[in-house]
Amino acid sequence: MLAATQARERLLADNAKKKAQISELQSFVSRFSANASKSRQATSRAKTN
């Protein structure tokens, strides 16, 4: 029972971390997609996810 609880907590933490990374990536892409110097980097990051 303890192992299952720990596994669930780990999954929840991983999901929260992934959501934060996705949010950060979306923010980056939306900020820099129109910027000439960062457009290629923003497009590349959008493709990786």
pTM of the predicted structure, to 2 decimals: 0.67
Q: Length of the chain, please? A: 49
Q: Residue 49: what pLDDT?
A: 64
Q: Residue 23: what pLDDT?
A: 94
Q: Residue 38: what pLDDT?
A: 82
- The answer to whether the CB of 40 falls within 8 A of the CB of 28 is no
Instruction: Say if residue 42's pLDDT is above 90.
Output: no
User: Whole-number mean pLDDT of the chain?
Assistant: 89
Instruction: Say if residue 15's pLDDT is above 80.
Output: yes
Domain range enclosing 19: 2-48
Count of domains forming the chain:
1
Output the 3-class SS for 1-49: CHHHHHHHHHHHHHHHHHHHHHHHHHHHHHHHCCCCCCHHHHHHHHHHC
Longest dimension (CA), the chain: 54
